[in-house]
Structure 1
């Protein structure tokens, strides 16, 4: 078999804000050398490579000057940022958190191995970081996790989630991925996944059926799960995910949330809260990009409410700590 583990250089692209001018995705890392049993990414994207701190900060400032209020840091495996340049993701977060005019900073997705004490402290001490982390679980069964070569057990993941809440606060939104139908996943293993998802208090859940990929270790694993069974499990997991998201959203009822407005239709403003819940609200918000909304109803996994007023600009607001505020198969 040919060695497809490519040496990768940085694909130097420049981004602009989304059409709403509210937020932009900022890619800071590429490549992966973790080699999960089901994943082709290390073969096709090459080894980890990070953008320099100066380069990322320069583009971040350009985006903010162009009107972006929120930046979402992304990468093929974001947690590997800095491993090749003697830096760290925590250092990058602290640096970007000092940019004037930036209201929010968040991650697209981060693997469990990277959620360590140093990173969590950096997030907690960076008020602009939004208290939402998308951390892929993939399975809640230890046997399946071992065959996936994920590098952790269900107990390890639960302990990590507990530590996240201890540092970032009980209201932090944890979302995750579930990979269903991996070879050897029987009904008991699938049931353990659903049980762990419920017990850890996740909000948003992304569910994916396993798809065999040549060149991966999982390609040769026996005990395949039938397509019909896998699809039934996907539907069951999606239904659980909807329940979990509604349950998480319900904790905000009657409370004021900060919404970054991405659009308006008549008197209705819509966007996302700091904890990454979709929100819409009625009321006069003029044209201010951030508004205070009182959440009155859970609607389709998001919040519906009324505008209470504009949220102060950076020079007028007093940030609290981040602790008291916030992928499927490759």
Structure 2
């Protein structure tokens, strides 16, 4: 789906701006054949871990003028490439900045092309992470989200541990909130949870991808755990952060071998565990992966039906989770504010709307009066 959208965008850009320089970056650029790029009208193919060179490449291509020499390739092998030195001086959003600290994966899930296009796991030097965090905080940003392709592998190649990285981030004056983008269940450990719990700025929300609640499907996916392992990790999270910690997850629906009974086990598991937000995706075969060769997947219509059902359950679960905060006071980091109303996120990653006034980037307390489809609303506490 993403590949098709990417190609469609390139065709549209070329059609609307025939004299423009078109650069394609990232995973699709890493694997696209030069002939296909030429047919799409692409001028530059810039692969993973080479994106920091984009300004230089664009400047050179623009200086050459129209028809400046076919498709230019700038992509490594992912194995010998160093960290791509992309840095954020000022976040696009005033309240929240995304800091990428890790790239690459070698886990080898059966459906995932990432190990082939992202290369070996690589950790960003911690000094660079802390320095970038200080810059974005100085620009007025109060929250950072730590991201990576497989964040749990941070530090495996000799950098400091993920827990130590977060602990040092928590010492930055003015940084009110720290979140993770996503963390694989097999990356959680009691030691990491203990370190995270000791950091006052670390938010009580973790996104832990489940993908399926059926052991047979999980084994075919090559996820490296079964449903009971995931359940124990959720229990460990609640021991560390309390029962109100928000655990959200991903579900990959319609994978080869997923029967109706297997799908039911997935819905039963997320319900029993009392998870919050569900991100539901239909399985789509990726050429070059093991699963792409398997033909025993549900029909497209059946997969769509299951996605709709899982989405509906996700809305219900999120509403149930959010409802526990009705009557409580929650902290709101204002993203949008006016004289009449404000909205933003709670530490538990719930959308909150309150009576104004409030300035973006400020913290305020909201007394929650109600919940509507997972969104809390109330007035100043």
C-alpha deviations, 1:213-233, integer Å up to 9, x for none? 111111122312110000000
**Where does the alignment leave 5 or more consecutive residues of structure 1 unmatched?**
309-330
C-alpha deviations, 1:13-63, integer Å up to 9, x for none? 112444441110000111111110000011001011111111110111111
Does 2:321 match 1:248? Answer: yes
Does 2:78 match 1:6? Answer: yes
Question: Equivalent of 2:289, from 204, 211, 216?
Answer: 216
Of 81-90 and 47-56, deviating more is 81-90
- What secondary structure is seen at the aligned counterpart in 1 of 2:178? strand
Quick check: 1:284–1:307 contact (8 Å CA) kept in 2?
Answer: no
Does 2:216 match 1:143? Answer: yes
Which has the higher relative contact order, 1 or 2, with Cα contacts under 8 A spaced 6 or more apart? 1
| Alignment partners' CA distance in 1, 2:250 and 2:297 | 20
Question: Equivalent of 2:299, from 226, 229, 252?
Answer: 226
Quote the residue 1:260 is aligned against: 333
C-alpha deviations, 1:188-229, integer Å up to 9, x for none? 000000000101111110000000011111112231211000
Specify whether residues 203 and 17 from structure 1 end up closer, same or farther in structure 2 by C-alpha distance, changes over 3 A only: farther
- What secondary structure is seen at the aligned counterpart in 2 of 1:73? strand
Specify whether residues 227 and 130 from structure 1 end up closer, same or farther in structure 2 by C-alpha distance, changes over 3 A only: same
- What secondary structure is seen at the aligned counterpart in 2 of 1:207? strand
Quick check: 2:123–2:159 contact (8 Å CA) kept in 1?
Answer: no
Quick check: 2:338–2:359 contact (8 Å CA) kept in 1?
Answer: no
C-alpha deviations, 1:266-310, integer Å up to 9, x for none? 4101000000000010144467700000111112311011012xx
* Superposition pairs of residues 127-206 of structure 1, within 5 angstroms: 127-206=200-279
| Alignment partners' CA distance in 2, 1:168 and 1:291 | 22
C-alpha deviations, 1:124-182, integer Å up to 9, x for none? 10010000000000000000000000000000000110011011111100000000000
| Alignment partners' CA distance in 1, 2:133 and 2:360 | 24
Does 2:337 match 1:299? Answer: no
Specify whether residues 84 and 44 from structure 1 end up closer, same or farther in structure 2 by C-alpha distance, changes over 3 A only: same
State the structure with more CA Rg.
2
How many correspondences in the alignment?
306
Does 2:192 match 1:119? Answer: yes
Quick check: 2:140–2:361 contact (8 Å CA) kept in 1?
Answer: no
Task: Give the TM-score taking structure 2 as reference length.
Answer: 0.78
| Alignment partners' CA distance in 2, 1:66 and 1:281 | 25
Task: Give the TM-score taking structure 1 as reference length.
Answer: 0.90
Quick check: 1:29–1:50 contact (8 Å CA) kept in 2?
Answer: yes
- What secondary structure is seen at the aligned counterpart in 2 of 1:74? strand
Quote the residue 2:163 is aligned against: 90
Question: Equivalent of 1:34, from 92, 99, 107?
Answer: 107
- The structural deviation recorded for 1:5 is 7.2
Deviation beyond 6 Å, 4+ runs, structure 1: none
- The structural deviation recorded for 1:77 is 0.9
When the two chains are superposed, the root-mean-square deviation of aligned CA atoms in Å is 1.6
Does 2:135 match 1:76? Answer: no
| Alignment partners' CA distance in 1, 2:78 and 2:363 | 43
